[in-house]
Structures are given as C-alpha cells and as structure tokens.
C-alpha cells in the first residue's frame, strides 16, 4: 500500500487529522489496531474546548455535537463548604466549553471517514515505523492474519502512550519529562440527572471530588483515592456517601443518587516527550504527552497537534516550503507546556497530598480565595480552561 500520510491510530487525533487532510486534498490511510466497537465505546474525556468545537464544526463533524452536546459557560469551585462560579464568557470575551464525550467525537469522525475519506483499517496493528529519517518511511502492519507494509511520505504517530510511534525516535535524541502523582481518580457513570448544571470542582480535606455529566440523564462523578486503588474496593453506597461529604455546602445541597453503571480508576501523571518530530515522523496526542485529567486538556491537546500538523502539510503542498513542518515540534510544545502547567496547577490546587500538612491546606485555600476574589486570577483560569490558541 502507498499513501501520502500514514496515520497510526484511530483515536480523535488520527481521525481528525485524516478528516483535515481529506478536505485539503491530501490522501491518507489510517491504521487502527483495535476494532471499531472499541474505538467508539472506550470511556475517555468529555470536555471540548472552544477551539476544538470550532474545528469539528469546520470539518463537518459538528452536527450531532450541536444537537446533543451541552454548552457550559462556567465551572463551580467548592471549598470550605462555599461555592464560587467562574464565568467563562464574561472573563474570556465569549469563550465556552462543551460536554460531549470522546466516544461520540470518534463515532462522528469514523462515520465521516468511512463515508467520504480514505482507507480506515480497523484491526490493523502497526508493528513499527521504519525509515523515518529518510524520504520514504514505512509502516509494517498486520491485518486480517497477513503482514503488509504501508509506504508513505509522512507518518503521523497518533497511537497513544503505548503505541509503536514514539519508540521510532532514537533514544539519543529523546528527552522525557514526567511526574507521577500519589493519588488517582475513582470515576463512576450513574443513571441519574446531574446534581448541578455545570461542572463542580471540590477541594476538601478528605480529598478532591468532581461532579460532571455525560448527558442530562447520566452523571460522571469522581473521587480522589490513593494511587493503586481497586475500584471494586468501594461499594456504591460508600461512593455516594463520600461524594456527599466532600461536596457539602453551607446551603445544604444534596446530591441526586442513582444506579452506578460503571466504575474505574484513572492514574494521575504528567508526561512530555521531546521532540515531537523525527524526520518524517510526527507524534501527536498521547504518543507525545499526557496530562492529569483535572484540567480537561488531553483530547484538546491532541486536536491542537493535528491542526498544527495538517496546516504544515497543506503549506508544504501549496508552497513547497517545509518551514511549518520543521517548526511542528516547537509550535506544539509551546501549547503542550502551557497545558501541562495549567493541569499541574489545577491538580495541586484541589488535591490534598497524602503527606500534606496544615500549612499546605491553608495555601490551597488561599489560592482558591484568590481566584474567587480577583478578576485577574479568575481570568487566568478561565482562559486556560476554555483553551489556548491552536497552532
């Protein structure tokens, strides 16, 4: 097989890149090791920044998002049993975020790719990336019990942290930066209407809690737990009781309870690989960087990567200049490190560490008081949460 851009991975990064290239007249082939059901049903991120929504609309993937997605114009911070709302449009000049699960984004992009785009091969396991530092990189892959090779001009490694792409960057050229946090998130899906119409981020001495949602009838809720926790250690009743304790306010608000349909534990870590480019191989999304989920940046960072890459490939096609391709890693990393900074700030703002002292707790409260009382501090949070400029 031969194509211009070989894309490894059919998550939101790979699928959106294929869509952007298709609309620009650049052919691609997407190789995805999992089956379609896995891609379309894996529970992941649910918050889309303003820029991500704008891009999805621009490529024709916004119809169902506009119909079913939930626009949110702010978040609520809870601390010391008090409530403070951060008004996104008022602090950013009109930007918002949308609740629309990654699974739904993937469904929309898969449907468009299969209907209008180039080949999208499910169950096609990429085995390596070869010749990235030459003119004709190759992707050996296994598909339907046979081994084949995809020859291409460029490779987009959108295959996540455990994929083969990052390993094709020589160790001598690679630098990694990592932080592992001593706590995790116990997440649940519950068949109950959300208890609040916007996301609620709670700082409590017992641990962080987040009230989120997937739809008007399905709640997505999280509790800070020790790293390594088994989700089955928690009974449904214990989860609801702990959520109520951590989210308690002076006005006596009660959480709506319902049937829990899914439990999982999400580790908390930060990771960046530099560079994000080696020759004709370009890393995007989780293949290059991981953020803790507190800042809702993972999917949105992946979108920024592929928008930058697509723009560079179109520029090269139209002008013959490789300038934007050469600048890809540096361009993306500026945005990545700002997202890493924000995600770290949000995480350390709201999560008591296992060895936290009373002094540490007071500092967290002081930081929250500053956000609640200062327009400048609130604006900094709102601008980062709704999204840094793409590209």
- Spatial strand order in the sheet of 70-72: 47-48, 97-99, 70-72
Which one from 107, 273, 278, 297 is the annotated catalytic residue?
297
6, β-bridge pairs: 29, 155
List, as one string, the DSSP characters of 47-63: EE-HHHHHHHHHTT--H
List, as one string, the DSSP characters of 222-262: EEEEETT--GGGS-HHHHHHHHHHHT--TT-------EEEE
Q: Please indicate whether residue 344 is annotated as part of the active site.
A: no
List, as one string, the DSSP characters of 260-276: EEEEEEEEEEEEEEE-S
Strands 2-8 and 82-87: unpaired
Which one from 12, 137, 194, 293 is the annotated catalytic residue?
293
Q: Please indicate whether residue 293 is annotated as part of the active site.
A: yes
Q: Please indicate whether residue 263 is annotated as part of the active site.
A: no
And the tokens for 80? 């010391």
Contact assessment for residue 203 and residue 275, using Cβ atoms and an 8 Å cutoff: no
Which one from 154, 183, 201, 328 is the annotated catalytic residue?
201
Q: Please indicate whether residue 170 is annotated as part of the active site.
A: no
> Closest Cα partner for 140 from 130, 132, 153, 154?
130
**Cα 389 to Cα 329: distance, rounded to the nearest angstrom:** 16
Q: Please indicate whether residue 183 is annotated as part of the active site.
A: no
Which one from 100, 154, 183, 385 is the annotated catalytic residue?
385
Angle made by CA atoms 62, 388, 331, in degrees to the nearest 5: 105
Q: Which position has the token pair 């209907």?
A: 115
- Residue 335, phi-psi category: left (phi > 0), alpha (psi -120 to 50), beta (remainder): alpha
For the CA atoms of the chain, what is the radius of gyration?
Answer: 21
Which one from 12, 72, 196, 328 is the annotated catalytic residue?
72
Using DSSP, state whether 203 is helix, strand or coil. Answer: strand
Residues with catalytic roles: 72, 201, 293, 297, 385
């Amino acid at each position: 097989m031969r194509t211009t851009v070989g894309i490894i991975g059919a998550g939101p990064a790979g699928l959106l890149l294929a869509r952007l290239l298709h609309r620009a007249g650049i052919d691609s082939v997407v190789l995805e090791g999992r089956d379609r059901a896995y891609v379309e049903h894996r529970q992941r991120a649910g918050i889309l920044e303003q820029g991500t929504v704008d891009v999805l609309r621009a490529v024709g993937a916004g119809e169902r998002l506009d119909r079913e997605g939930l626009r949110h114009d702010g978040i609520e911070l809870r601390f010391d049993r008090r409530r403070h709302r951060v008004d996104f449009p008022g602090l950013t000049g009109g930007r918002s975020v949308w609740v629309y699960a990654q699974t739904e984004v993937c469904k929309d992009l898969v449907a468009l790719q299969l209907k209008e785009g180039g080949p999208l091969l499910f169950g096609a396991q990429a085995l390596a990336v070869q010749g990235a530092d030459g003119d004709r990189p190759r992707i050996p892959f296994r598909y339907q019990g046979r081994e084949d090779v995809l020859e291409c001009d460029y490779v987009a490694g959108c295959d996540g942290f455990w994929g083969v792409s990052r390993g094709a960057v020589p160790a001598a050229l690679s630098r990694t930066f990592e932080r592992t946090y001593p706590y995790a998130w116990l997440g649940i899906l519950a068949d109950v209407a959300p208890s609040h119409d916007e996301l609620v981020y709670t700082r409590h001495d017992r641990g962080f809690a987040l009230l989120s949602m997937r739809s008007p009838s399905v709640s997505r809720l999280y509790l800070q737990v020790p790293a390594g926790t088994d989700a089955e250690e928690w009974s449904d009743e214990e989860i609801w009781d702990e959520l109520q304790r951590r989210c308690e306010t002076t006005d006596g608000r009660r959480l709506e309870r319902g049937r829990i349909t899914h439990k999982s534990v999400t580790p908390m870590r930060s990771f960046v690989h530099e560079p994000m480019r080696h020759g004709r191989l370009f890393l995007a999304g989780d293949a290059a960087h991981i953020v803790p989920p507190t800042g809702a940046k993972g999917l949105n960072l992946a979108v920024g990567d592929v928008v930058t890459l697509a723009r560079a490939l179109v520029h090269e096609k139209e002008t013959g200049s490789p300038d934007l391709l050469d600048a890809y890693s540096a361009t993306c990393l500026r945005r990545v490190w700002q997202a890493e900074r924000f995600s770290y700030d949000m995480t350390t703002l709201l999560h008591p560490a296992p060895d936290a002292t009373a002094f540490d707790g007071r500092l967290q409260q002081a930081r929250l008081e500053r956000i609640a009382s200062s327009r400048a501090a609130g604006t900094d949070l709102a601008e980062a949460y709704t999204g840094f400029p793409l590209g």
